[in-house]
Amino acid sequence: MSNYHIKHLEEYYQIYRKSIREPENFWEEVAEEHFLWRKKWDKVLSWDFAKPEIKWFEGAKLNITENCIDRHLVTRGEKTAILFEPNNPDEPAQHITYQQLFERVNKMANVLKSQGIKKGDRVCIYVPMIPELAIAILACARIGAIHSVVFAGFSATALLTRINDSDCKMVITSDGSYRGAKTIDLKGIVDEALESCPGIEKVLVVKRTGGNITMKEGRDMWLQPLLDEASKQCPAEIMDAEDPLFILYTSGSTGQPKGMVHTTAGYMVYTAYSFKNAFQYRENDVYWCTADIGWITGHSYIIYGPLANGATTVLFEGVPSYPDFGRFWEIIDKHKVNQFYTAPTAIRALAKQGSEMVEKFDLSSIKVLGSVGEPINEEAWHWYNDNVGKKKSPIIDTWWQTETGAIMITPIPFVTPTKPTYATLPFIGVQPAIVNEAGEELKGNQVEGRLCIKFPWPSMARTIWRNHKRYKETYFSTYKNMYFTGDGALRDEVGYYRITGRVDDVIIVSGHNLGTAPIEDAINEHPAVAESAIVGFPHDIKGTALYAFVTLKDAGESRIHENLRKEINQLITERIGPIAKLDKIQFTAGLPKTRSGKIMRRILRKIAEKDTSNLGDISTLLNPECVKEIMDEAL
Ligand code: PRX
C-alpha cells in the first residue's frame, strides 16, 4: 500500500509531482494495487477537452459493488460497514456488517430485476437517510442500473422534473420520513409527482414511519415482502469502465438542473483513493459524514469512498438540533467517531449555541475534522478547531463539486499545515489554474481570478444526461482547453488556494447549490408578480441567504405585502423545497436593466449586501431611476 497513505509534506509533493508528470502511470498503479477488476484496461486515459470527451481505464471490466462489498467479505465480513443512527435517539443504532450488507444488497438487486429493471435503466431513489437508501443505490450498481438519487427534501415538482429528465422507470421511496420532531409524508409527494411522470412503471415503498398512505394498484408495492422472497445471491453485472454509474442533478446558473453523469471505474478509483488519504482513514476507524446522500458528498463520502476502503461509515437519519443541539456531539461520543465531516452552515448553527453543548460529551476519539460545501469563515473555523477538535485535530477544508465527483483541493491531515479559510493544496492528480477574464492563466503565487482545472482527473463527470452540448457550453467553452468550475479563487504566497465564491448566478445557501432561474420561475408563477430577480446576501448561519427583488403587475396591489411574501415562499416550497425559501423579498417598481433588457444582478447584489458605495456607472442602464428607489427601500 505504498502510495495509498501520504505521510508527510515531502511525500505529498513527491507523489503530487509524479501524478502530474506521469498521470497515466500514477493512476494505473493506484488502480492495479487497490481494486478488483474483472478485466484490466487497454488504455489508462484518453481525453479531449475540446469535444469534450474523457475516458479513464477504457476497456476495463468491473462491478463497483464487488469492490465495495464482496472483496471485503473474507477479512471484514463481521466488520460494521454501515452504522445507522436513527432520528430518535431512543431507537437503537443498527450495525450492518459487510456480510449483512452483501445479503441485503443482493436481495434488493434481485427485487429490482424481478420488477423489470435491467442494465442501463434509470431508477429514481427518493428515500430518506435510512439504510435502504444506501442499499438501493448499491443494488442498482450491482445490476448496472443507473441510480438517480433525489434529495428527499425536494418538492413534488423538483422530483418530477428530475424523473422525467432522465426517463426513470422506477421510483424507490418510503411511506414517510422523520426529520427531528417532524414526520414528512414522502409517499404523498411521490404520488403528486407521478401524476406527471408517464414513464414510471413501478414504485417500491420502504416502510419507515407507518403513516397512512395510498398504494396505487399495479404500480406501488411494499418493498419488504418482495425482499423476503428474494434470493441473497445476485451475480454482479460486469460493467465497462465508462458505463454510467449514476446521474445526480445540480443547479445551473440558467435553466433546469443538470443531470451530471458519473461513470464507473474512474469514479471508484478516485473516490476511494481520496477518501483514504484526505481523511487518513485507518482500519477500525469510525467515520461520519453528516451530509445527505441526496447530494454528491453523500454519494462519494458516505457510500462509495468509505465502502471501497472497507470502512465503517455512519448514516445519520436526523438533524443536528434534535432532540437538542448536542446531538452531533452525543453521536460522536456514543460511536467513538474518528473522522467527522460536516458543513460550515451546521458549524455556525451549532456554534451559536455556545460551547456548553459540546463540553457535555467526550470527543476525544476525533482525529480529523472536515468541512465541505461552501467557504468556511474564520470564526466558524476557529470555533470548530477549538471546541470540537480541541486544537489537536486538523481541519480539512475540502473544495469540490457535484461535477468533480470527489475532493479536489484539500489539506492532507497531519501532512499539510492548515490555514483558516484556505482549502490549501490540490489533491493528488489535480491541476488547478487561476485565469483572468480574458482566459489567460495567471502563473506564480499571489494571484486571484477564476478557478479552472487543466487536466482530467478520474472522477470528473463525463457529460450532462442527454445534453452533451450543455456540458460543453457550461464547463469547456468559457476558457479554452480547461474545465471551468464557476468559482473564484486566489493563490497565496505559498501556493495555498482560497475559494472566494461563485462567479456565476449559482448561489450557495447553507451549503446547497441553488440556481436562480428555477426560483425566479417559481416566484413569477404567482399571479400578482410581473418579474423577479434573486441574489445572495451574507447571513450568519446560512453563509448566504436569498434576497428577491420583485415587481408586481399591479403596482398598487391592494393586498398587503406580508401576505404576498408568504404566498411567494409557499410557491417556492411547492416548486423546489424549503431549502430555497427567500429570507428577504423587496417589492419594487422596476428592476435595473441593460439596454438589451438583461437584469443587472451585479447592482442588486451590491444593494442586498449593503455595499452601495461603488455601484459603477448606472447611467447606461435602461432605467437608472429605479436604482435609487431600490436603494432607499432596501430591507
Ligand atoms: O462554490 C463551491 C462550493 O460549492 C460548490 C459546489 O456545490 P455542489 O456541487 O453542491 O457540491 C458541494 C459538495 C462538494 C462549489 O462550486 N464549495 C464546495 N466546497 C467548498 C466550496 N466553497 C468553498 N470552500 C469549500 N470547501
Lowest-confidence range among 266-270, 458-462, 621-625? Answer: 621-625
Question: Is residue 375 in contact with ligand 1, taking CB distance under 6 Å?
Answer: yes
| Residue 427 zone, left/alpha/beta (φ > 0; ψ -120 to 50; rest) | beta
Atom of ligand 1 nearest to the CA of 402: 9
* C-alpha cell, 276: 483514504
Protein residue with least CA distance to atom 11, ligand 1: 401
Which run of H or of E encompasses 630?
Answer: helix 625-632
Q: What is the pLDDT of residue 480?
A: 94
pLDDT of 555 strictly over 90 = no
Question: Is residue 507 in contact with ligand 1, taking CB distance under 6 Å?
Answer: no
Greatest mean pLDDT range, 369-383, 551-565, 614-628: 369-383
- Centre of ligand 1 from the C-alpha of residue 401, in Å: 5
Strands 239-240 and 61-62: antiparallel
Instruction: List CB contacts of 62: < 8 A, sequence separation 6 or more.
Output: 35, 36, 37, 38, 39, 238, 239, 241, 264, 265, 268
Question: Is residue 406 in contact with ligand 1, taking CB distance under 6 Å?
Answer: no
Question: Is residue 397 in contact with ligand 1, taking CB distance under 6 Å?
Answer: yes
Protein residue with least CA distance to atom 12, ligand 1: 373
Question: Is residue 400 in contact with ligand 1, taking CB distance under 6 Å?
Answer: yes
Closest of 579, 596, 556, 460 to residue 510, by C-alpha: 579
Question: Is residue 459 in contact with ligand 1, taking CB distance under 6 Å?
Answer: no
Summarize pLDDT for 303-361 with one digit per residue, the tens.
Answer: 999 999 999 999 999 999 999 999 999 999 999 999 999 999 999 999 999 999 999 99
**What mean pLDDT value characterizes the chain?**
95
Q: Do the beta carbons of residue 424 and residue 410 sit within 8 Å? A: yes
Question: Is residue 423 in contact with ligand 1, taking CB distance under 6 Å?
Answer: yes
551 burial via Cβ count (<10 Å: 0-12, 13-18, 19+): middle
* Over residues 12-41, mean pLDDT: 97
Q: What is the pLDDT of residue 600?
A: 87
Summarize pLDDT for 171-210 with one digit per residue, the tens.
Answer: 999 999 999 999 999 999 999 999 999 999 999 999 999 9
Atom of ligand 1 nearest to the CA of 397: 26
Protein residue with least CA distance to atom 23, ligand 1: 375
- Centre of ligand 1 from the C-alpha of residue 502, in Å: 9
Lowest-confidence range among 31-35, 399-403, 435-439, 516-520? Answer: 516-520
Ligand 1 pocket test, pick from 290, 345, 401, 418 with the greatest ligand atom count within 8 Å of Cβ, gives 401
Lowest-confidence range among 27-41, 234-248, 593-607? Answer: 593-607
pLDDT of 252 strictly over 80 = no
Summarize pLDDT for 587-605 with one digit per residue, the tens.
Answer: 999 999 887 778 888 899 9
- Centre of ligand 1 from the C-alpha of residue 345, in Å: 12
Residue 183, Cα to own-chain centre: how many angstroms? 24
Cα–Cα distance between 340 and 350 in angstroms, integer? 14
Q: What is the pLDDT of residue 2?
A: 42
Domains plus CATH for the chain? 9-489 (3.40.50.12780), 510-633 (3.30.300.30)
Protein residue with least CA distance to atom 2, ligand 1: 374
Ligand 1 pocket test, pick from 484, 513, 514, 542 with the greatest ligand atom count within 8 Å of Cβ, gives 513
* Over residues 594-619, mean pLDDT: 86
Question: Is residue 121 in contact with ligand 1, taking CB distance under 6 Å?
Answer: no
Question: Is residue 250 in contact with ligand 1, taking CB distance under 6 Å?
Answer: yes
Report the percent of the chain where pLDDT is more than 90: 89
- Centre of ligand 1 from the C-alpha of residue 499, in Å: 9
ipTM value for the complex: 1.00
Q: What is the pLDDT of residue 559?
A: 67
Task: Examine residue 52 and say whether the peptide bond preceding it is cis (omega within 30 degrees of 0).
Answer: yes
Question: Is residue 97 in contact with ligand 1, taking CB distance under 6 Å?
Answer: no
Ligand 1 pocket test, pick from 345, 400, 404 with the greatest ligand atom count within 8 Å of Cβ, gives 400
Question: Is residue 486 in contact with ligand 1, taking CB distance under 6 Å?
Answer: yes
Cα–Cα distance between 338 and 332 in angstroms, integer? 8
615 pLDDT band (50/70/90 cuts)?
confident
558 pLDDT band (50/70/90 cuts)?
low
| Residue 486 zone, left/alpha/beta (φ > 0; ψ -120 to 50; rest) | left
Ligand 1 pocket test, pick from 372, 459, 475, 514 with the greatest ligand atom count within 8 Å of Cβ, gives 372
Question: Is residue 487 in contact with ligand 1, taking CB distance under 6 Å?
Answer: yes
Summarize pLDDT for 255-284 with one digit per residue, the tens.
Answer: 789 999 999 999 999 999 999 999 999 999
Q: What is the pLDDT of residue 6?
A: 87
Ligand 1 pocket test, pick from 374, 422, 451, 459 with the greatest ligand atom count within 8 Å of Cβ, gives 374
Protein residue with least CA distance to atom 25, ligand 1: 399
Protein residue with least CA distance to atom 5, ligand 1: 401
- Centre of ligand 1 from the C-alpha of residue 481, in Å: 22
Strand partners, 97: 80
Protein residue with least CA distance to atom 6, ligand 1: 401
- Centre of ligand 1 from the C-alpha of residue 399, in Å: 6
Q: What is the pLDDT of residue 132?
A: 98
| Residue 381 zone, left/alpha/beta (φ > 0; ψ -120 to 50; rest) | alpha
Residue 55, Cα to own-chain centre: how many angstroms? 23
553 pLDDT band (50/70/90 cuts)?
confident
Q: What is the pLDDT of residue 1?
A: 37
